[in-house]
Amino acid sequence: MHFDGVGEAGDRVRIPESITLVVGLGISGRAICRHLARQGIPFMVADTRQEPPGLSAFREAHPGVAVHCGPLTALDLAPAKEIVLSPGVDPSTPGLEGLVDRCHPTTGEPLLVGEIALFVRTCHAPIAAITGSNAKSTVTTLLGEMAREAGVRVAVGGNLGTPALDLLVEKPDAELFVLELSSFQLETTPWLGAEAAAFLNLSEDHLDRHRDMAGYRAAKLGIFRGARHGVTNAEDPMTWPETPLPAQDRFTTRAPQAGEWGIARRDGEDWLMHDEVPLMPAQALRLAGRHNQANALAALAMGKRLGLPLDIMTAVLERFPGLPHRGETVAVLDGVRWINDSKGTNVGATLAAIAGLGPTLEGRLVLLAGGVGKGADFTPLAAPLARYAREAVLFGADAERLEAAFHGEVAVTRVTDLEAAMWRARQVARPGDCVLLSPACASLDQFADYRARGEAFRDWVKRQRREVMHGG
């Protein structure tokens, strides 16, 4: 099919009725195109950017496929067989207005869908789906590890790692698909039909896309469309479905009510529980903090629904260190746990890390923070630091602003860079303490990105561990 492009000024190019239009040439958009090509479905592509990255490579991979670059208002999209939207493209983009709720006049199916809708049509194995403002990558990875350890042929991806449509090719014999799904993906998924679906939490995010929290929540609730089992946060009613599901579990960091997954004291220590049944001591988790205990409970609830053995799931929890740079336990040195949360690039993320770790420690926190604060208000960190921290060691461009925010609430030491901060933490931390790198700032004053900052932390801690082991 040839596409002649935009005609004379004022003209709109009409999309042929037999054509599927893919909007957006990002990672997911290219995965959509590969899928349509494999299915033998005629398609063309539109991208609002005049020169989207990877365009030349796309043309080589899909010779003869028409590409429109520029405003969507230059196209008459209504006749298209279907419009498949990449998650990075806002459904309210000029040219797409009114199409979200429109159905195809012949098939009655929604005219505008996303990549996950295509995935659902082709997938013939059960789906476990996870969403939430925070921790969805951790729970997705955990559940995938549990299934793999149980001998299940599992494919893990979606918003995390491999696009869902590519998993169909990479793991054609998969018995289970474990997908992390974002609000952007869910808002264009008319029906998911997950065997198990989890909505972990909801906090302010992506309001530039969803307009308000109600819109953001509505998009997230799409994970429950057709779900046979739901997992929700007992402490966050915003995660609860608006209509009953065939089966539902709730998790909490408190003592569980009837049927819930929670945490309770038994014989002087905290245990992960299901109803009144003890599952494992909370301290046996390699993942640190109350927030990660909640993540473990969510994964256990989903795993039970999927038929995974409890002993295998708890064994995975005992060794899983966390995702790189996201609350990752690097080592324990002289009784002090060192945690890499370099992805904590804003106040909210660091607040969650402090609040999650603080109540679980025998000792105190030593916080390493600093970098480029982007004008953020650091004062919300002061009260939890006063409650849980031994000291805040501050470095980087906004160390002075951080110190001013913490003044009078917690002991503060200012240093030049992260290495100096780690040496200071090594001096002041005591057995039972936790050294937490959760900077509440971007890293670009001293590092290429948060990953480079986290790698520097990890490498330094591992060198210290080697020296301890060899008596250096």
Catalytic residue at 159?
A: yes
Q: Is the pLDDT score of 8 beyond 70? A: no
What pLDDT sits at residue 349? 84
Q: Is the pLDDT score of 5 beyond 60? A: no
Strand 176-180 versus strand 43-47 pairing type:
unpaired
Domain 123-319 -> CATH class:
alpha beta
List helix spans (H) across 151-274.
164-170, 183-186, 207-210, 213-220
Catalytic residue at 136?
A: yes
Fold designation for 328-469: Protein-Tyrosine Phosphatase; Chain A (3.90.190)
Confidence grade of residue 88 (pLDDT, cut at 50, 70, 90): confident
Residues of the chain with CATH 3.40.50.720: 13-113
Mean pLDDT of all residues in 172-189: 96
Mean pLDDT of all residues in 164-173: 96
Residues of the chain with CATH 3.40.1190.10: 123-319
Nearest to 431 by CA among 377, 366, 347, 344: 366
Contacts of 179 (CB under 8 A, 6+ apart): 116, 127, 128, 129, 130, 140, 156, 157, 158, 159, 164
Whether the Cβ atoms of residue 358 and residue 432 lie closer than 8 Å to each other? no
Catalytic residue at 462?
A: no
Confidence grade of residue 124 (pLDDT, cut at 50, 70, 90): very high
Instruction: Return the structure tokens found at 312.
Output: 């295998």
Burial 216-228 (b: 16+ CB within 10 A, else e): bbebbbbbbbebe
Mean pLDDT of all residues in 56-79: 92
Nearest to 67 by CA among 3, 113, 1, 13: 3
Chain segment 133-146, per-residue pLDDT in tens: 888 999 999 999 99
Neighbours of 161 (CB within 10 A): 14
Mean pLDDT of all residues in 268-277: 96
Chain segment 434-444, per-residue pLDDT in tens: 999 999 999 99
Chain segment 416-434, per-residue pLDDT in tens: 999 999 999 999 999 999 9
Chain segment 330-361, per-residue pLDDT in tens: 999 999 999 999 998 888 889 989 999 999 99
76: part of which helix (H) or strand (E)? strand 75-76
Tell me how far apart the alpha carbons of residues 380 and 353 are, in angstroms, rounded to a whole number. 13
Confidence grade of residue 205 (pLDDT, cut at 50, 70, 90): low
Whether the Cβ atoms of residue 440 and residue 344 lie closer than 8 Å to each other? yes
What pLDDT sits at residue 138? 92
Q: Residues of the chain with pLDDT > 90: what percent?
A: 78
For the chain, how are helix, strand and coil distributed in percent, rounded to 5? 35, 20, 45
Chain segment 369-413, per-residue pLDDT in tens: 999 998 889 999 999 999 999 999 999 999 999 999 999 999 999
Q: Is the pLDDT score of 270 beyond 50? A: yes
Whether the Cβ atoms of residue 128 and residue 141 lie closer than 8 Å to each other? no
Tell me how far apart the alpha carbons of residues 173 and 301 are, in angstroms, rounded to a whole number. 25
Interhelix angle for 290-305 vs 310-319, to 10°? 150
Tell me how far apart the alpha carbons of residues 158 and 182 are, in angstroms, rounded to a whole number. 9
Per mean pLDDT, which range of 174-188, 196-210, 322-336 is the poorest? Answer: 196-210
Chain segment 207-249, per-residue pLDDT in tens: 667 778 898 999 999 999 999 999 999 999 999 999 999 999 9
Contacts of 81 (CB under 8 A, 6+ apart): 17, 18, 19, 20, 104
Contacts of 13 (CB under 8 A, 6+ apart): 3, 4, 5, 6, 7, 68, 74, 75, 76
Neighbours of 391 (CB within 10 A): 22
Q: Is the pLDDT score of 447 beyond 60? A: yes
**Average pLDDT of the residues of the chain:** 92
- For the chain, the residue count is 472
Q: Is the pLDDT score of 7 beyond 70? A: no
Of 159, 233, 292, 340, catalytic: 159
Confidence grade of residue 446 (pLDDT, cut at 50, 70, 90): very high
Q: Is the pLDDT score of 190 beyond 60? A: yes
DSSP string, 337-394: EEEE-TT--SHHHHHHHHHHHGGG-SS-EEEEEESB-TT---GGGHHHHHHHEEEEEE
Contacts of 276 (CB under 8 A, 6+ apart): none
Of 136, 171, 291, 325, catalytic: 136
Of 104, 134, 206, 462, catalytic: 206
* Residue type present at position 377: D
Whether the Cβ atoms of residue 293 and residue 328 lie closer than 8 Å to each other? no
Q: Is the pLDDT score of 204 beyond 70? A: no
Q: Is the pLDDT score of 329 beyond 80? A: yes
Q: Residues of the chain with pLDDT > 70: what percent?
A: 96
Hunting for tokens 């955990």 — which residue is that? 142
Domain 13-113 -> CATH class:
alpha beta
Interhelix angle for 290-305 vs 347-357, to 10°? 80
Strand 269-274 versus strand 261-266 pairing type:
antiparallel
Whether the Cβ atoms of residue 44 and residue 16 lie closer than 8 Å to each other? no
Residues of the chain with CATH 3.90.190.20: 328-469
